[in-house]
Structure formats: C-alpha cells, structure tokens
Structure 1
Amino acid sequence: MWRTAAVAALLAVTLHLLISYYPMDTPVEAVRILTDYLFGQRVVREPEELVAEAWDSLIREPSKGWSRVAVG
C-alpha cells in the first residue's frame, strides 16, 4: 500500500517539476517535447538562447498597479 502512495507522490513531484521548468502553451507542444526527449532527437541550442529564454521566463508583470514609484 505504501509503495503505491510513494509512486503516486513521486509521479506528482516529477510532473510538477516538468511543468514548472518547461511551461507549455498547448498539449501538442507537450507531446512534441516528450517525444523528442524519449527518442533522443535533441535540438542543440546556443547558450545565449538558453539564457535569454530563462531570463524571459523570470520577467513577470506586477499583479497590481503601482501608485507611486521611488527613484533615487
């Protein structure tokens, strides 16, 4: 019984990490990423592209507007 719970927890953590590190817009993109990973068709990208993509994923709009902005 505990093995089933451990497997379910491990699967949930794995899916959470995949979703947070590889955000996907459509299920088709998810299937493409999964098949590329499973069948070894890796796309080699430049380090600059990876850094730019990571930086863009970190930039978010503020959840509420600012009334005042401090400059100094």
Structure 2
Amino acid sequence: MARRKARRSTGPSNEAQRIARTITYYEVCLADEIPRTAQMELWAADFSRPFAAGEHVSPELAARLEDAAQAEAAR
C-alpha cells in the first residue's frame, strides 16, 4: 500500500501519460482545424514520449498538445 501511495505522489505513470496523449490527439487534432500533414506527423509519433515540434508541427502546437495531455493525465 505504501508503494502505491509513493507512486501516486510522483505523478502519473508512463501508461497514463501515453493514454492521455492519445486522448489529447483525438480531441485536439480531429476537432480543431489542424492541417492533415501535422495530424499525420503527430500520429506517427510515439505517444510514450512528449509531443514535439517537427516539420509540420509548430513548437506552439506541440507545447499546447503536451500541456493538454499533462492535464488529462493528472486527472
């Protein structure tokens, strides 16, 4: 039991963050007016790592997505 409490206090697990990034992708990318090329680039990324800027993904978009994913994972 103490181990679970210690884990919870360190923040969301990697699996929770991966799931939150997937949810964020669907909510933001498919609902907003994000270009198809950026959507495809984000989908090809590994959701176990933070969203990052790329050829079609601006740093602002990546930061916005990661902030939303962190908020989702914290719930």
Q: Output the TM-score relative to the length of structure 1.
A: 0.33
Compare the two structures and name the one with the higher helix fraction.
2
Question: Rg larger in 1 or in 2?
Answer: 1
Bigger relative CO (Cα 8 Å, ≥ 6 apart): 2
